[in-house]
Structure 1
Amino acid sequence: MHIKMLKSYLDRLDNIKRPIAIVGTERSGTTLLYSILANDPTLYWYSRLDSLLPNSPILTTSLRKIAETVKPQVYTAIPGKISKTRGLIPPSECIPCWKKIFNWGTEDNYILQDDYFEEFNVPPSTKEKIYDDLKLRLLVSGKKRLLFKWPGLSLKIRFLYDVFPDIIILHIIRNPVDNLASLIKAKKKAYQSTGERFWGIKIPGWKDLIQEDFAVQAALQIIKVDELIEKDILQFNLVQRKQYFRIKYEDLLSAPEQTVEKVLHFSGLKSSVRIHQALAGVSKPTSTISREIMKSLPQSLQHKLEELSQKYGYI
């Protein structure tokens, strides 16, 4: 009875307006942008607490609300760490929350063919549950809008657009050579700790690449993720609809104030003291990656990465 009453109440609330999703290949700067925007007081985002208790939105949101009141936090990404942010209850990708929706299993028993999802891949009943869950989180938190970050969403733009027709897509890109080096490093670390052979976004055809060198895997992920993001953005005219904005990771490091101001303006957000405090902790780039790493790739992949570098003005 209580569930029916709650459902009835949620149905009467306004629709979720202009949620924001951060997309991009792993190790491209998505966590840094996420941690900065998480300091906006109007945005609700998944926290590390939600990762621990994904089925308890009222409890986790209430605890966060208390924590933010008692001890306001400034969230900043931890340099060199994968998807880690400083703070008492910091932002999280909340993999368990997304796993409930997409149910992908494990690498050895990956239930899905790959991570590319279209609007019809999720039944309407599941979409309704997602929507109601997020409405409830907004209600309890008192926040106005949603902020998502998970690299897997890069291959789910069609699904996101179907659920949230006015969604804002923030696409962060990085110099492909630097992205390649960082992604290879992350893959090696994942393999050493978990034995996972294909860490990261499961691009179409990934199962045929499990035994490939990490450099080849990483190059194909960077190329394919960019290709699929562009395909879906064009399909729904998100650039013309002013729902798509691209950010360079390098700009975020070298000119954080100016870059974030552009992101905030595009997203319909305002700057705040906490965002300025977070930006003060952004580290300037201190080293460059040798292009020697490209020589380990087949000529065809080297050529495609060079084309991508030219496309985004890196060479």
Structure 2
Amino acid sequence: MAATIKYEALLQKPIILFGSGRSGTTIISEILFQHEDLAWHSNYQEIFPRFPQINFLRRLFDNSWWRMVKFWNFVGVSKNTRQKKSKQLINLAIFNPIERYNFWEKITGPRIDFSRGFLLDTKATEEERTYIRSFLAKQVKYQGRKRLIMKFTGPARLEYLHSIFPDAIFVNIVREPIATVRSWLEVGFWQTKGINRLWWVGAYSSEEEAEAEKLKNDPALITAFQYRKLMETTAYEIEKLGLQVYESHYEDFVKDPHTFIYKLMEYMQLPLSRHVEAYMQNIFVANRNERTSKKTPFSDETKKRILEIVSV
């Protein structure tokens, strides 16, 4: 018999956004997180991963009387990076959405490598499911919201997440591979993680590991190899589970952000939001695919090899 979960109704149709990373998930989720109905994982929850009560803080920063939200001109840099560069301590102290894995490692427990595992063919145990749902239901309740939204990058982890949230609304954000690979190469995280090795684990065959070994001295190609695996495993999980997944493209977003977001909200069954509209009026969306990178220039040959790898 399933355990009774307090505030269970607040977990109906949770929204799960996912993508490879560097695919537009940050700016798109940043806009959606402004919606007044949605609760999300915060910077404070990351510091205190075992205490759902920390979510009451959101009511101090964001309520019907005031919203302590800093509007930024978006130039392709994540909110977290912008805040780290800010000299104003208040911008770091504001209760903000954040994508981190300390929290998820704590709530999934030692059996699951949530940060690095592909989690293919893996379901949550009943104990894990009950604990995670109970915790996140409190997160929504304590933030004073109506629904839950989550964002993940890297492996989609669809079977594991679907076993916890069977009625979840899944949205996959995809970006053109050459631009995605270049963007991975330009972030600090990737410099110490996957730039010369396979970062995520649990899905590569021995043949694929041997192929990666041949590519590891070329950062662009080993990165493209890992991008391909993310795409393959996502497609595998969608087909295996028969999931209905809304696939959205970064290129469509930068072409017409307002239409893109409104269609997405309609699919997510979210009402129109004046906060979402106000936020979109105060940001500038740049098409990062069109820039010429002096930091990471790709030769025509490299671009060709990237496309060959990801299309296999």
Matched, 1:67 2:61: yes
User: Given the alignment of the two structures, is residue 171 of structure 1 paired with residue 172 of structure 2, yes or no?
Assistant: yes
- Count of matched residue pairs: 288
Q: Which residue of 1 aligns with 2:77?
A: 81
Runs of at least 5 residues in structure 2 that lack an aligned partner in the other structure: 84-90
Distance 1:103 1:213 in 2: 35
TM-score by length of 2: 0.78
How do 1:153-192 and structure 2 match up within 5 A? 154-186=155-187, 189-190=188-189
Alignment equivalent of 1:233, drawn from 238, 244, 263: 238
Higher relative contact order (CA 8 A, sep 6+): 2
Q: Which moved more, 1:211-220 or 1:16-25?
A: 211-220
1:288 to 288, 291, 295: 291
Answering whether residue 102 of structure 2 is matched by residue 96 of structure 1, we say: yes
Is 1:56 matched with 2:51? yes
| 1:1-315 matched pairs, under 5 angstroms | 10-11=5-6, 13-14=8-9, 16-58=11-53, 60-69=54-63, 71-74=66-69, 79-82=75-78, 84=80, 88-102=94-108, 115-118=117-120, 120=122, 122-152=124-154, 154-186=155-187, 189-190=188-189, 198=197, 201-202=200-201, 204-205=203-204, 209=212, 211-239=216-244, 244-280=245-281, 281-285=283-287, 287-289=290-292, 292-293=298-299, 295-296=301-302, 299=305, 301-305=306-310, 307=311
Whether the aligned pair in 1 keeps the contact of 2:107 and 2:131 (CA below 8 Å) is no
Deviation at 1:11, TM superposition (A): 4.4
Deviation at 1:99, TM superposition (A): 1.6
- Rounded to whole Å, the distance in 1 between the matches of 2:217 and 2:177 is 19
Check 1:231–1:92 CA distance in 2 against 1; reply closer, same or farther (3 A cut): same
What amino acid sits opposite 1:204 in the alignment? Answer: A
Determine the C-alpha separation between the residues in 1 that align with 2:196 and 2:102.
21
Shift of 1:18: 0.6
Counterpart of 1:18 in 2: which secondary structure? coil
* SS at structure 2 position matched to 1:238: coil
Matched to 1:266, the amino acid is Y
Identity %: 21
> What CA RMSD, in Å, does the superposition of the two structures yield over aligned residues?
3.5
| Structure-1 residue corresponding to 2:87 | none
Counterpart of 1:250, as a letter, is E
Q: Which segment drifts farther, 266-275 or 13-22?
A: 13-22
Write the distance in 1 (CA, Å) between the matches of 2:194 and 2:172. 30
Contact map agreement 1:19 1:168 (CA 8 A) in 2: yes
1:33, distance to aligned residue in structure 2 (A)? 1.2
Cα distance between partner residues in 1 of 2:209 and 2:71: 35
Secondary structure class of the residue paired with 1:170: strand
> What is the alpha-carbon distance in structure 2 between the residues aligned to residue 99 and residue 17 of structure 1?
23
Matched position secondary structure for 1:93: coil
Counterpart secondary structure, 1:14: helix
Using the TM superposition, give the Cα deviation of residue 212 of structure 1 relative to its aligned residue in structure 2, in angstroms: 4.0
CA distances 1:237-289 after superposition (whole Å, capped 9, x unpaired): 223xxxx1111112212211000011000000122111112222032326335
Taking the aligned partners of 2:237 and 2:261, their CA distance within structure 1 comes to 25
Q: Give distance in 1, aligned partners of 2:14 and 2:57.
A: 22
Contact 1:181 1:293 in 2 (8 A): no
Give the TM-score normalised by structure 1.
0.78
